[in-house]
Chains A and B, each alone.
Chain A
């Protein structure tokens, strides 16, 4: 139930929360209310180590990412033979003027959208199914879901590589047992779209459990009376889902969707390992493309520019996610 405990208030606006929703920010120290200088300093003292570490390990590299993308930075700058000089928007100009970059952008978006849609729809269907199966079946499914969720990504990728192996993979063998199908020796990674479809399957397999479990926790909070009332008013199964369940789950769905977009745009090890560390041109996503530019072509500046563009591309989604989080996380 712990899953439900903290997530429910989000889905049920009328539910009472332990704290009143967002009083205006300002000095309002809970006990005592004495805002002496010393008291005001305590939170900052507690925060100091954290902020210091984050500034060093995250702040600095983030700034460097931005400055790098406006510099010329290759091998000779890396070894210090030449100083890194500023080149203005040259890197961006080159990247944006390269048709390969736009191919990669489109491929990344198609891949991410496909993964997110499959994850969310699949997750929702399984969550709804779990409400309808017997208790023991629910337990069985939960066990495999959590096991899949807990699998290290790198292990899951390795396993999928084996499942889809061209010569000895079980998938080819099983599919070939179907009448009229002969996939013996079929290489799924000979073509980009097919290979990426396999990788998408891997991503979805790893992502669905989180969605099922979170949505499942949400579904238990949908008031039975509301569903019953809708049914009495003549709503069918779809109507109940569309007009009762879905609106109540909306905040959770928005959050899961945005999170999935962020995760699926950031897919890296899956592609990297599946293609043995050297993804072919038609397998490149923004992440591997940026990596490739930096560490294979040794153009760190262009790599950074691509990474930065990826982050910018994600900003809109992140903004939606953050708004939702701040709304339901009652960050008053």
Chain B
């Protein structure tokens, strides 16, 4: 195409200073909440309640973190969150992968209905389900139990894994499997030897993202677990009592909650951006 040459010949653009200044503004605004969380977490508690606070760090202390760890049991909730999130992800990935294979590699009657169903189910707001879920767990004697929470989390993790893995599988050319089968592999061996290795990164990304979602869930955790069995997200509520809020330790607690998750998120975000558009689930 001749127009290509026009595009390449258009040469250096206008000076970028104006755009960069605008970009700097976006950077500062978007990043400020995160910066202020870290800033407050590491500053001496008395500076946190300065009515005219300095925008720059005013010192460095870990006292807020010590206070955050002491205010209420921290490792118990973290342990419970880990158990719940890991179990949900393992079940979700195994069951979800089988289902994703079915809808992406087989043509069968009713396939479209299954797909529409799985998509539609993700659109039901979690909050709308809380009442019947609460009553169901109550009837099953699973209220305030980790198993109950795990079952409940499958409502959003499972459709998410099916749909996201479907996206990853669809992008693996069918021809690869077919070639392996022509060479004498059975369907199962063809899958294990050819598809599975290619799917592995997608499986990891989906697992990590599913883990993050389960870990971050708040409403069900709050509703379905008692105070003594609370999970990590609900733990953050311990900083507000009727005597007020301990903000500096609360920001330390927030930092402890956010940093590992944000790091995990950064690792898989690129891979998931595609899956997310398709998977369409956040919180």
Which A residues are within 8 Å of any B CB, using their own CB?
A: 2-7, 18-19, 25-31, 40, 42-44, 46-47, 49-51, 53-54, 56-58, 60-62, 64-65, 68, 78, 126, 129-130, 132-134, 137-138, 140-141, 144-156, 158-163, 165, 167-168, 170, 173-174, 184, 205, 208-210, 213-214, 217, 224-225, 228-229, 232, 252, 255, 259, 262-263, 265-266, 268-269, 272-273, 276-277, 287, 290-291, 294-295, 300, 303-304, 307-308, 310-311, 314, 318, 321-322, 325-326, 329-331
Neighbour of B7 across the interface among A53, A163, A225, A314, CB < 8 A = A225
Q: Mark B255-270, 1 if CB is under 8 A from A, else 0.
A: 0011001101110011
Question: Which of B59-67, B69-77, B109-117 is the contact stretch?
Answer: B109-117
Q: Tally of A-B residue pairs with Cβ under 8 A?
A: 330
CA distance A162 to B37 in the complex (A): 9
Closest CB in chain A relative to B222 CB, distance in Å: 8
In the complex, A304 Cα to B127 Cα: how many Å?
Answer: 10
The answer to whether A263 touches B282 (Cβ under 8 A) is yes
A29 to B106, CA, bound (A): 6
Q: Once the chains bind, are B129 and A62 in contact (CB under 8 Å)?
A: yes
Cα A303 to Cα B134 in complex, Å, equals 12
Contacts of A224 in B (CB 8 A): 7
Of the candidates B126, B167, B266, B282, which one forms a contact with A6 in the assembled complex, judged by CB atoms under 8 Å apart?
Answer: B167
Q: Give complex CA distance A140, B25 in Å.
A: 11
Known contacts: A147-B262, A149-B265. The answer to whether A6 contacts B33 by CB under 8 A is no
Instruction: List the A side residues contacting B52 at CB < 8 Å.
Output: 173
Beta-carbon contact of B236 and A6 below 8 Å: no
Given the interface contacts A148-B30, A149-B269, does A311 sit within 8 Å of B251 by beta carbon? no
Task: Give the complex CA separation of A225 and B277 in angstroms.
Answer: 27
- Beyond known contacts A31-B187, A150-B261, A161-B245: 8 more, CB 8 A cutoff: A46-B98, A46-B102, A46-B106, A151-B261, A159-B36, A273-B218, A290-B127, A329-B167
Chain B residues near A294 (CB-CB < 8 A): 130-131, 134
Interface majority SS (helix, strand, loop, mixed), chain B: helix
Q: A6-B278, A30-B174, A64-B135 are in contact. Are A44 and B53 (CB under 8 A)?
A: no
User: What residues of B have a CB within 8 angstroms of the CB of A138 in the complex?
Assistant: 23
Q: CA separation between A225 and B2, bound complex, in Å?
A: 9
- Structural contact, A155 and B152, CB atoms closer than 8 A: no
- Which listed residue, A31, A132, A161, touches B181 by the CB 8 Å rule? A31
Contact indicator A155/B236 (Cβ below 8 Å): yes
Evaluate contact between A266 and B126: CB separation under 8 angstroms.
yes
A129 to B24: give the CA distance in the assembly, Å: 11
Q: Which of B100-123 contact A (CB under 8 A)?
A: 101-103, 105-109, 111-112, 114-116, 118-121, 123
* A329 interface neighbour in B51, B254, B278, Cβ under 8 Å: B278
Within 8 Å CB of A2, what residues of B? 270-271, 273-274
Asked if B276 CB lies within 8 Å of chain A CBs, one says yes
CA of A155 to CA of B239 in the docked complex: distance in angstroms? 12
Between B4, B106, B119, B278, the greatest number of chain A beta carbons within 10 A of the residue's beta carbon is seen for B106
The complex places the Cα of A276 from the Cα of B222 at a distance, in Å, of: 13
The 5 closest A-B pairs by CB, nearest first: A150-B265, A3-B273, A144-B31, A266-B125, A50-B99
Among A40, A53, A78, A155, contact of B254 (Cβ-Cβ < 8 Å): A155
Can you offer 23 A-B residue contacts whose CB atoms are under 8 A? A6-B171, A6-B274, A31-B187, A43-B102, A43-B103, A43-B106, A46-B106, A47-B98, A53-B95, A54-B155, A58-B121, A62-B132, A68-B131, A133-B22, A150-B261, A150-B265, A154-B233, A168-B50, A170-B53, A294-B134, A300-B135, A307-B125, A310-B125
Nearest CB to that of A130 among chain B residues?
A: B23
Chain B residues, Cβ within 8 Å of A329: 167, 278
**B276 touching A210 by the CB < 8 A rule?**
yes
Report yes or no: B132 in contact with A148, Cβ–Cβ below 8 A.
no
One of B127, B152, B178, B278 near A57 (C-beta < 8 A): B152
Of residues 1 through 30 on chain B, the ones whose CB sits less than 8 Å from some CB of chain A are 1, 3-4, 6-7, 10, 13, 16, 19-20, 22-24, 26-27, 30
Q: Which residue of B lies closest to A59 (CB)?
A: B121
Separation of A290 and B129 alpha carbons in the complex (Å): 11
Chain A residues near B159 (CB, 8 Å)?
Answer: 54
Instruction: Judge whether B192 is part of the interface by a CB distance below 8 angstroms.
Output: no
Q: Is B86 an interface residue (CB 8 A)?
A: no
Chain A residues within 8 Å of B275, by CB: 6
Query: Are A167 and B154 CB-contacts (below 8 A) given A64-B135, A291-B130?
Result: no
CA distance A318 to B121 in the complex (A): 10
Whole-angstrom CA separation of A50 from B27 in the bound complex: 43
Q: Which residues of B contact A252 (CB under 8 A)?
A: 277
When distances are taken between beta carbons in the complex, the residues of chain A under 8 Å from B126 are 266, 268
Q: CB < 8 Å: which of A5, A28, A43, A144 contacts B27?
A: A144
Residue of B nearest to A63 (CB): B132
Contact A78:B138 (CB < 8 A) given known A64-B132, A146-B266, A318-B120? yes
Does B48 touch A at the CB level, under 8 Å? yes
CB distance from B171 to the nearest CB of A (A): 6
B115 engages A331 (CB within 8 Å):
yes
Closest A residue, CB atoms, query B235: A154
Closest chain-B Cβ to A126's Cβ sits at a distance in Å of 6
Check if B212 sits within 8 Å of A150, measured CB to CB.
Answer: yes
Q: Which of B4, B22, B108, B178 contacts A129 (CB 8 A)?
A: B22
Complex CA gap A161/B22 in Å reads 27
